[in-house]
Structure 1
Amino acid sequence: MANTPVKEISSALDDRSREIFRRIVESYLESGEPLGSRNLSRLLPMSLSPASVRNVMSDLEDLGLIYAPHVSAGRMPTQQGLRFFVDAFMQVGNLSESERKSIERQIRPQDADQPLENLLTDASRMLSGLSRGAGLVIAAKSDQILKHVEFIRLEPTKALAVLVGEHNQVENRIIDLPAGVTASQLTEAANFINANLAGQTLPELRGQLVKLKEQVAGELGALSQDLVERGLAVWSGGAEAEKPTRLIVRGRANLLEGVAGAEDIDRLRLLFDDLERKESLIEILNLAESGPGVRIFIGSENKLFSLSGSSLIVAPYRDSDERIVGAVGVIGPTRLNYSRIVPMVDYTAQLMARLSRSNR
């Protein structure tokens, strides 16, 4: 059943089965609870006895679309059932004008110099508030502009590289020092970087690396030259510079609602741990890039958070060169309101694309 095409499942369902299945899923998405045959029979537009409803539910169970969480309980959708519902039943509408304006108002820059970091936080908070899940925003590092670098010696073989961006955002990185470096050489190397790289973005900096190395060799001694190259490596990040480096998550507390048992708490702990790993940032962006538009990953379909039983709705946003520079999304329990959240994530991704271009 796991890989059964939507058309094949649909052809196995008559109108009555489809209606009963739809009611079970919609009830679960609203309440998170199983729906019994007696209550279900009262919701149906056609007249069916609880016994007839149970017969249909048995057929749906055989198809792997629903299950009973415990003996004598009602029925809930399986993960495969949720996927089938999303693919075959869910109708995604457009946001109303008032909803679009509300989203724009919550992440609109207050002034022309507002750091992009603030906009990312606002977008994450807004998605959390509207979805009742956790809102997440990922941004690549490539939009940062270098303003200033300083090297601070920590011990004979290590120094703190203080990297200051255009909007005074600060990154601190520890670097290894070549043997014998003096305080004056630390200053000399920092001054050289500041004089030659201030005001450049990461892609621009990469284009200067070869030329700068030649220039360094002509102007500085060997130790200072080594320091400059280490400083450039810290800022450019090598191959990792192409990967996202900022993940902003707001609304973790929303995920605690309805959590009761130790098993649920353990799943949440796994999710929070996953969100702290740098590899998670890269994987989320890879998921967003895996197809056009908004992507929906339900339960174990999302390899990153499969152990926590969470769903992820995510969409990439692009810069003016149509390169993917980040992603926005919502993560939460599998009973997220998919039809409502998908257009919100889609519109937020469009807004973030426009805002990130204006903040370059």
Structure 2
Amino acid sequence: MDRQPRQSPDFLEALSARSQDIFRRLVERYLETGDPVGSRALSKMLDMQLSPASVRNVMADLEELGLIAAPHTSAGRAPTQEGLRFFVDAMLEVGTMDETERDQIARTVSGGARGGRVEDLLNEASALLSGLSHGAGMVIAAKSDMMLKHVEFVRLDPERAMAILVGQDGQVENRIIDLPPGLTASALTQASNFLARHIVGKTLKEARQSIRRQSERQRAELDEIAQRLVESGLASMIEAETSTPTLIVRGRANLIDDAMASDDLARVRQLFDEIETQKGLLELLDDAETAQGVRIFIGSENKLFSLSGSSVVLSPYKDANDKVIGILGVIGPTRLNYARIVPVVDYTAHVVSRLISKKGEL
């Protein structure tokens, strides 16, 4: 498992062994409880004998370095975003998963694949990550080039129609397309029938290329306005297929419950707004294509989640050609149990990649 480090100041050189130990204990306790940690509590946790006064001196040095801070009027200290980043990069000891945990993940995600639909598989993975992390599970999937079985147009009004696409795996998608002016009902039916004969076993792009290669005699079965609908409709559907990725989020209630406990509902509302607008999803997918494993974004490090101050643990998943086709992970407060969640996200991505590769296929 590769956990990609990020650039951060080399605080290790500035901290003595004692300071490192105190900082590590403080962060671990904060991640466990979510509460600021005081010097008296820290002195009891240390292996070495240090008075609360000595611990306070070290904490003052850590605060001066920007690694910890006092939230509000609390007497305790909590790690800053920079402190958490330093901890994750330099001190985090990622836990291991036993065979029972691996089997549970594999069985649960495999259950979602039994119906043969990619969406069911990804929904199951998202719900699983939510349950195991007590945060929100998230999947961002690039729009796949669906192998088509059937297509037809249904007029909605004089200017628009719904294109109903049926994939060979049973997946159904609807796209709204604009109609050429003056298109008659018979021309709409003619275009539907024409496409239905030429798209079987092809993606939208392949169908478009195939139709363009046809001779004038073959295309003469369509009148001019129906030809325009076929061409413009395919172009519109292809654009819709590649423009917006699919987003699946499960376990939002977990974030709401956590926010209610910390009186920070505004943060969660902001997070939901950011997710629903889907701004930045394509950038996350682009970033995943160069990622070599699990990525951890803390607070403002990723603009999609910056205003909400959330942490996100993400890993890419791939198809049978080893191409990154999406990312999955966990969203939660910055006090996520990173040591536990990182291997869970990594292994879930591995299982999803394996199942998608097997189906071909999906």
Q: Distance in 2 between matches of 1:203 and 1:176?
A: 19
Contact map agreement 1:213 1:229 (CA 8 A) in 2:
no
Structure 2 residue corresponding to 1:12, chosen from 11, 14, 18: 14
Q: Distance in 2 between matches of 1:68 and 1:256?
A: 24
* SS of the residue 2:121 aligns to: helix
Q: Distance in 1 between matches of 2:93 and 2:38?
A: 25
Deviating more after overlay: 285-294 vs 76-85? 285-294
Deviating more after overlay: 322-331 vs 54-63? 322-331
Q: Distance in 2 between matches of 1:255 and 1:347?
A: 23
Match of residue 88 from structure 2:
86
Identity %: 55
Structure 2 residue corresponding to 1:125, chosen from 124, 127, 131: 127
Q: In structure 2, give the amino acid aligned to 1:148.
A: H
Q: Distance in 2 between matches of 1:223 and 1:313?
A: 50
Match of residue 27 from structure 1:
29
CA offsets 1:172-203 (integer angstroms, 9 cap, x no match): 22221111111111111111111111222356
Contact map agreement 1:206 1:236 (CA 8 A) in 2:
no
Q: In structure 1, give the amino acid aligned to 2:182.
A: G
* SS of the residue 2:170 aligns to: coil
Q: How does the TM-score come out when normalised to structure 1?
A: 0.91
Contact map agreement 2:36 2:74 (CA 8 A) in 1:
no
Q: In structure 1, give the amino acid aligned to 2:62.
A: L
Q: How many residues align?
A: 355
* Corresponding position: 1:104 with 2:128: no
CA offsets 1:35-80 (integer angstroms, 9 cap, x no match): 0111111111111111101000000001110000133520000000
Q: Distance in 2 between matches of 1:92 and 1:263?
A: 30
Q: Distance in 2 between matches of 1:132 and 1:94?
A: 18
* SS of the residue 1:39 aligns to: helix
Match of residue 339 from structure 1:
339
Match of residue 298 from structure 2:
298
* SS of the residue 2:119 aligns to: helix
Match of residue 3 from structure 2:
none
Match of residue 54 from structure 1:
56
Contact map agreement 1:314 1:329 (CA 8 A) in 2:
yes
Label 1:205 to 1:23 Cα distance change in 2 as closer, same or farther (>3 A).
farther
Label 1:316 to 1:206 Cα distance change in 2 as closer, same or farther (>3 A).
farther
* SS of the residue 2:279 aligns to: helix
Match of residue 253 from structure 1:
253
Q: CA deviation at 1:236?
A: 1.7
Q: Distance in 2 between matches of 1:305 and 1:214?
A: 52
Q: CA deviation at 1:162?
A: 1.8
Deviating more after overlay: 256-265 vs 175-184? 256-265
Match of residue 357 from structure 2:
357
Match of residue 235 from structure 2:
233
Label 1:204 to 1:179 Cα distance change in 2 as closer, same or farther (>3 A).
closer
* SS of the residue 1:328 aligns to: strand
Q: Distance in 2 between matches of 1:216 and 1:174?
A: 27
Q: Highest relative contact order (Cα 8 Å, sep 6+), 1 or 2? A: 2
CA offsets 1:282-341 (integer angstroms, 9 cap, x no match): 133133234211111100001111000011111111222222111111111111111111
Q: In structure 2, give the amino acid aligned to 1:136.
A: M
Q: CA deviation at 1:260?
A: 3.4
Deviating more after overlay: 161-170 vs 122-131? 161-170
Q: Distance in 2 between matches of 1:259 and 1:72?
A: 18
Q: Distance in 2 between matches of 1:351 and 1:299?
A: 28
Q: How does the TM-score come out when normalised to structure 2?
A: 0.91
Label 1:74 to 1:258 Cα distance change in 2 as closer, same or farther (>3 A).
same
Match of residue 315 from structure 1:
315
* SS of the residue 1:87 aligns to: helix
Q: Which runs of 5+ in 1 are unaligned?
A: none
Q: In structure 2, give the amino acid aligned to 1:293.
A: G
Contact map agreement 1:138 1:244 (CA 8 A) in 2:
no
Q: CA deviation at 1:171?
A: 2.2
CA RMSD of superposed structures (Å): 2.3
* SS of the residue 1:147 aligns to: strand
Contact map agreement 2:178 2:233 (CA 8 A) in 1:
no
Q: Distance in 1 between matches of 2:302 and 2:173?
A: 31
CA offsets 1:130-182 (integer angstroms, 9 cap, x no match): 11111111222225222221211222222222222234333222221111111
Q: Distance in 2 between matches of 1:41 and 1:269?
A: 38
Q: Distance in 1 between matches of 2:209 and 2:316?
A: 26
Q: Distance in 2 between matches of 1:122 and 1:264?
A: 29
Deviating more after overlay: 189-198 vs 171-180? 171-180
Match of residue 115 from structure 1:
117
Q: CA deviation at 1:19?
A: 0.9
Label 1:90 to 1:144 Cα distance change in 2 as closer, same or farther (>3 A).
same
Q: Distance in 2 between matches of 1:210 and 1:136?
A: 39
